[in-house]
């Protein structure tokens, strides 16, 4: 990770190296956090944040599920993001807001602990590698299921959910794959450890529903919108594992992974083993907008205003 100058913590910009919490904070012991991950892109009109309002809304939704009352408004959080990117003079970066239960008491009951919030930004390249955007990645199904709907809410982007993701990712890496795909507890395809998944079959785009223990991905919703506007049929349904082996194209979506083709699953070649034409079309439309080459007709980009100085 490349450090930047400032991190925003509870309303103040603090130096990167001073952004610390107490080891007895509730979050350290019980995973009590919710967070977001979004990107600022370098566009031809300057840096701009991709779907910031939607990410902030999901952050507040995640907090609501866990009864965490964020001590700032959505507008204040959005402003903090824009200020922080400006203060760190970033042209392009990853943005990580995190809301967590802080230092107070250490029982499981978190109600006496403060709700703290921090935002960090840093440069982060393509999550599964630049080359993956063209050549795709080789992935496997995980022996771990995604969290069951009546155990942990998958619609919340909660820190604790990523213990499940870590098991999926570590297992995949230990077997030589770039990523793992988890099934939900009923055996249908759910998602990757940090990505949603799509398949293309006979020209239609198919993706698991929210009921398959997926995170409601913002890149997923962007891809659905782009596909619909290209008159590609989009179907949200239960997806059996073997449908991925038989698909013409399969790809991941995510703020970190963007739109990454999948070339092999469990060492079975997907389609012709190369990025497929629909994946390429969707990538072109997506990258066209975020690089500022095509019109942002959905208002997905929030420009980063010029930053007028910081006093720390």
Ligand X SMILES: Cc1ncc(COP(=O)(O)O)c(C=O)c1O
Give the footprint of ligand X on residues 210-239 (CB under 6 A).
215, 217-220
DSSP string, 22-62: -TT-HHHHH--EEE--EEEEEETTEEEEETHHHHHHHHHHH
Q: Least CB distance from residue 138 to ligand X, whole Å?
A: 19
Contacts of 273 (CB under 8 A, 6+ apart): 136, 263, 264
Find the binder of ligand X among 102, 136, 180, 194 (CB under 6 A).
194
Find the binder of ligand X among 83, 116, 191, 249 (CB under 6 A).
191
Interaction of residue 196 with ligand X, rule CB under 6 A: yes
E-assigned strand segments in 128-202 = 137-141, 179-183, 189-192, 196-201
In whole angstroms, give the CA distance from residue 213 to residue 152: 9
> How many residues line the site for ligand X (CB under 6 A)?
14
3-state secondary structure of 210: helix
Find the binder of ligand X among 47, 136, 208, 254 (CB under 6 A).
254
Q: Least CB distance from residue 165 to ligand X, whole Å?
A: 6
Beta bridge partners of 235: 206
Q: From the candidates 157, 169, 281, 297, which is the catalytic residue?
A: 157
Find the binder of ligand X among 83, 184, 195, 249 (CB under 6 A).
195
Q: Which is nearer to ligand X, 24 or 148 (CB)?
A: 148
Beta bridge partners of 138: 264
Interaction of residue 208 with ligand X, rule CB under 6 A: no
In whole angstroms, give the CA distance from residue 159 to residue 93: 21
Find the binder of ligand X among 62, 142, 253, 279 (CB under 6 A).
253
SS3 content of the chain, % helix, strand, coil (to 5): 30, 30, 45
Find the binder of ligand X among 4, 33, 37, 138 (CB under 6 A).
37
Task: Answer yes or no: 169 catalytic.
Answer: no
Interaction of residue 255 with ligand X, rule CB under 6 A: yes
Q: Which is nearer to ligand X, 106 or 211 (CB)?
A: 211
Alpha carbon dihedral 23, 29, 34, 35, in 10-degree steps, equals 50
Q: Least CB distance from residue 253 to ligand X, whole Å?
A: 6
Q: Least CB distance from residue 272 to ligand X, whole Å?
A: 26
Catalytic site positions: 157
Q: Which residues bind ligand X (CB under 6 A)?
A: 37, 165, 191, 194-196, 215, 217-220, 253-255
């Amino acid at each position: 990770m490349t450090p930047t100058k400032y991190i925003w913590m509870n309303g103040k910009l603090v130096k990167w190296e001073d952004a610390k919490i107490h080891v007895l904070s509730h979050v350290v012991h019980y995973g009590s956090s919710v967070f977001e991950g979004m990107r600022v892109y370098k566009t031809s009109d300057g840096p701009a944040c991709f779907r910031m309002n939607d990410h902030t809304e999901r952050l507040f939704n995640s907090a609501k599920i866990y009864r965490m009352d964020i001590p700032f408004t959505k507008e204040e959080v959005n402003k903090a993001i824009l200020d922080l990117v400006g203060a760190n003079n970033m042209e392009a970066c990853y943005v990580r807001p995190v809301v967590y239960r802080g230092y107070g008491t250490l029982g499981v009951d978190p109600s006496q602990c403060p709700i703290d919030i921090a935002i960090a930004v840093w440069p982060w390249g393509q999550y599964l590698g630049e080359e993956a955007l063209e050549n795709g990645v080789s992935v496997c199904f995980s022996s771990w299921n995604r969290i069951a709907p009546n155990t942990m809410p998958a619609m919340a982007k909660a820190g604790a959910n990523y213990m499940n993701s870590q098991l999926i990712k570590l297992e995949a890496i230990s077997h030589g794959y770039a990523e793992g795909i988890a099934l939900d507890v009923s055996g249908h395809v759910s998602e990757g450890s940090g990505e949603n998944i799509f398949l293309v079959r006979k020209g239609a785009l198919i993706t698991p529903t929210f009921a398959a223990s997926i995170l409601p991905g913002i890149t997923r919703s962007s891809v659905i919108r782009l596909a619909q506007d290209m008159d590609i049929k989009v179907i949200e349904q239960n997806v059996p594992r073997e449908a991925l082996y038989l698909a013409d194209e399969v790809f991941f979506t995510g703020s970190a992974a963007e739109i990454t083709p999948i070339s092999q699953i469990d060492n079975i070649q997907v389609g012709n083993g190369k990025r497929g034409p629909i994946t390429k079309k969707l990538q072109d439309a997506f990258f066209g907008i975020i690089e500022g080459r095509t019109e942002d007709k959905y208002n997905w980009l929030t420009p980063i205003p010029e930053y007028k100085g910081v006093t720390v």
